Amino acid sequence: MKKLDIVIGLPSRNEADSIGNVVRIIDKSLTNNFPQLNALLYNIDSGSDDATREVFELTETTTQKKSYNTNKTGKGHNLLHLFKFALDNAIPYICTFDTDLTSITEEWVVKVLTPLINGEADYVVPVYGRNKYEANTTNHFCYPILAAHYGTPIRQPYAGDFGLNLNVVKYLLNQSIFEPIYQYGIDIWMTTHSVGGNFTIKEVYLGKKIHKPSFPKMVPMFGQAAATMFKNISEYKDFQPRTNNLLMESSVYRHGVDDFVRKPSDFEIAERTETALSILEERKARKGCIHELIIELDEEVKQNNHISAKSWSKYLAEAIKFAQTDALSDKEYIEFGIDFTPFYLLRVLSFFKEVENIEASQVDQIINSEVEYLKDYLNG
């Protein structure tokens, strides 16, 4: 095989209905915009039991294709395989795009790849216009922590579609890995280590992101992201951001909340409320590492039936301070993520009520208020 300049990672699990279109659009963009570079479309599949791999292989492209089956469920398995492949083959530019996308365009590929190829950035993160009921782990957890604690306000660090160069890949593969990173923790692990490694990061605006709803996966997604983030906080407790390490997208696009709305059903919201209260009771009885915080949350729920932006930020600040001062085992970090899950679920459900009848611009004001409150609590 001729030496590769670009590898596009396409992690999948039962995406037969969407992967073909994603592949066609990426192939067309590579052919039209980067004809001088040798690229590979690499589908890394998690043992799909539908026709995902067959659709990928039968989709006609100009760009060469390769498919691999990890037979392991979890996006992290897929991306770690991609990174090792890139390192083994010394591929300088690496991108990954979700394979359930319906809103991807040729321009996405250009915007993610160009800063890498021009040497402008080491790590490229997207900014999307999102439905106000989506991206909750991003809006209420990952973004506030990176902005307030790391001083690096990446608007959508838990995004799914990234670009990185080989230097970042080498750095990532030298970091510690535990179970959540093989699952939904992989995206925030990549971003946090790119921040912690003081790489140059660039945001690029991609427009609306429309894909399969993540609301049904909210509980496991958050627990794994939280465990990963809290462990990384302990690893970078003395972190100081390099000046200008983030090339921010224009403020016109950084709000991250678009006008289109796809609200979860009343049944889904009631189900998440029940789940949150159930986890709260179970974790209260368990008496884990943040038991006092859980008791405080339980009292607030009983009194107010609502977790405000200010209260949520106070709880989050206490969790961050705990993560900084207490070295936990990998198993304890996983438990920590579960312990904090009811805080998150109850804040998101309260947020849904707050934003039901307001405009997208006002939604972003609430999210940014969480960042400001968190800064105050961390510095207080």
- DSSP letter at 140? I
Rounded to whole angstroms, the Cα distance separating 312 from 136 reads 13
pLDDT at res. 262:
76
State whether 223 and 282 are in the same domain: no
Classify residue 97: in a domain, yes or no: yes
Classify residue 120: in a domain, yes or no: yes
> Hey, is 356 helix, strand or coil?
coil
Q: What is the pTM of this model?
A: 0.94
State whether 204 and 344 are in the same domain: no
Domain that holds residue 40: 6-247
For residues 175, 180, 184, 188, the Cα torsion angle rounded to the nearest 10 degrees is: -40
The residue from 187, 212, 247 where one domain ends is 247
State whether 237 and 292 are in the same domain: no
Rounded to whole angstroms, the Cα distance separating 153 from 115 reads 19
pLDDT at res. 211:
75
10 Å Cβ neighbour count for 29? Answer: 23
The residue from 247, 275, 303 where one domain ends is 247
State whether 22 and 54 are in the same domain: yes
Contacts of 250 (CB under 8 A, 6+ apart): 205
State whether 43 and 100 are in the same domain: yes
Classify residue 252: in a domain, yes or no: no
State whether 239 and 270 are in the same domain: no
State whether 73 and 221 are in the same domain: yes
Looking at this protein, which amino acid is placed at residue 43? Answer: N
Classify residue 258: in a domain, yes or no: no
CA distances (Å), 274 to each of 227, 293, 342, in order?
22, 20, 10
Contact 92, 165 (CB under 8 A): yes
Classify residue 309: in a domain, yes or no: yes
The residue from 247, 280, 314 where one domain ends is 247
Bigger pLDDT: 214 or 251? 251
Q: Tens of pLDDT along 265-275? A: 999 999 999 99
- DSSP letter at 103? S
Work out how many domains the chain is built from and give that number: 2
Rounded to whole angstroms, the Cα distance separating 101 from 99 reads 6
Q: Tens of pLDDT along 11-57? A: 999 999 999 999 999 999 999 999 999 999 999 999 999 999 999 99
State whether 207 and 280 are in the same domain: no
Q: What is the CATH number of the domain that holds 17?
A: 3.90.550.10
Q: Tens of pLDDT along 75-102? A: 999 999 999 999 999 999 999 999 999 9
Q: Tens of pLDDT along 313-369? A: 999 999 999 999 888 999 999 999 999 999 999 999 999 999 998 887 789 999 999
State whether 239 and 286 are in the same domain: no
Rounded to whole angstroms, the Cα distance separating 79 from 84 reads 9
State whether 232 and 343 are in the same domain: no
